[in-house]
Amino acid sequence: MEHPPPPPPPGPPPLTAASGPSKKKLYQAIAAGKTPVEGDHAEARLLLSQRESSFRKDLQWMLFNKYVPSLIQDGPQCGLVALWMAGHLLQPPLSVSVETVVQTAMDRGYTAQGEMFSASDMAMLAEEVCGCRAELLSGGMSGDNSTAVLKHLADGQPVLIPYDEDFNHEPCQRTGHRAHWAVASGVLLGLDQDSVSREHTQPDPTLPWLLLPQDSPSCPCPTVGAREAYILAKQGKSLRYQLWSLDKVAQSNAQLREIDPQRAGDSTQYVVPKGGVEVGLAGQVVLVHTGGQTK
């Protein structure tokens, strides 16, 4: 009597869409294995070429940027990841891991889950883990503070900025319910024609309408009188640079007033300063001085 043939071996499990955590780990793996971009302007140049039609043709555009690497955050670590990215512009670059940054913040009582609702705490943490001077700028990102931010970026130094993050990572206004941190590492300035000395600039090799500063410490920063200004920033939910209007970022930064009620009521412990998110974040940024190590 013949026996029936054995059943075929089971096939591979069906492919399923990546869930939230596994998808996050995938992006983290991609970021970890991503080859660093060559030069400060390559990634920014690609972004500008895609948006070329949105820039006024009657202005002279000038780009300043210092490349920072990407890192995808694991949980609510946006501020700590932004600080880690900023640390790569130190001289010499920051050599500690993001895990060390997170642990230091927890040890100092600045955070419970990785969140950072205090720009003042962020400045103190930056000084400790980076060994540099960190300047807390308050009173908003307009007027004299706008000039200070633009000059700091044009000098090749990063700025840590809290803002409300929209679903496409752009700044929005949600009264702080989507509070997030980014690191700005560059600035795009729209200037009056012939207002920039060609002695200190050079045309971009692929975008003829764009000027780049020459590699010279004497290159003056034409931030005063800029007609339009955009910042180049990275944050912990994307591998790519973002280009944001300075005015839009300033408006988002100024209206951070309260923690998301859903987050406040989810029984998770967070470190929120006395006076809440408005006291901790609204109208505040942190200027990281890369050349002024204190260690």
Catalytic residue list contains 78 = yes
The upper half-sphere exposure of residue 261, i.e. CA atoms within 13 Å in the direction of its Cβ, equals 2
Contact call for residues 116 and 235 (beta carbons, < 8 A): no
Q: Which of 78, 132, 172, 221 is catalytic?
A: 78
If you search the block for the tokens 């895990």, which residue do you land on?
A: 99
Contact call for residues 125 and 86 (beta carbons, < 8 A): no
Pairing of strands 242-245, 285-289: unpaired
If you search the block for the tokens 């180049």, which residue do you land on?
A: 232
Q: Which of 119, 156, 122, 121 is nearest to 140 (CA)?
A: 119
Biggest distance spanned by C-alpha atoms of the chain? 97
Pairing of strands 210-213, 179-192: unpaired
Tokens linked to 291:
């050349």
Q: Which of the residues are catalytic?
A: 78
